[in-house]
Amino acid sequence: MATLKNEFERLKMNEGDNINDFAGKITTIRSKAIDFEESYDEKVLVQKLLNFIPKKFIQIIASIEQFLNLDTMLFYEEIRHLKTFEEITNLKGKQAMVKEDQLLLTYYEWQ
């Protein structure tokens, strides 16, 4: 069990990971802990997710901490909030790329 606790403590989300990947890692450790008749409190899981994700999520983290009760929040609720933010951010990034391509195309047509 000590190895599992160390793995949980060292776990952090890398820049290239998405919320599903990181949440999956946490859930895997949680499942292994149950095999050892140990469990991680929802509050611990919520804090782990909030404290060890990249800075690109800082806006949603600030909103979650300001407007939601972290003491009663469930792990899956937090994942839902973070995934929504991630999807919106990715969608806006794709839209910006499309607009940029359209502007370049218009520029070349104008030439």
Report the share of the chain in percent with pLDDT over 90: 33
Residues 6 or more apart whose CB falls under 8 angstroms from that of 21 comprise 13
Please report which confidence band the pLDDT of residue 105 belongs to, taking 50, 70 and 90 as the band edges: very low
Q: Outline where DSSP puts E strands in the chain.
A: none
Q: What is the residue range of 37's domain?
A: 2-110
Count of CB atoms situated within 10 Å of the CB of 73: 19
**Number of domains observed in the structure of the chain:** 1
Contact status, residue 54 vs residue 21, Cβ threshold 8 Å: no
Contact status, residue 46 vs residue 70, Cβ threshold 8 Å: yes
pLDDT in tens, 11-29: 888 878 889 999 999 999 9
pTM of the model: 0.72
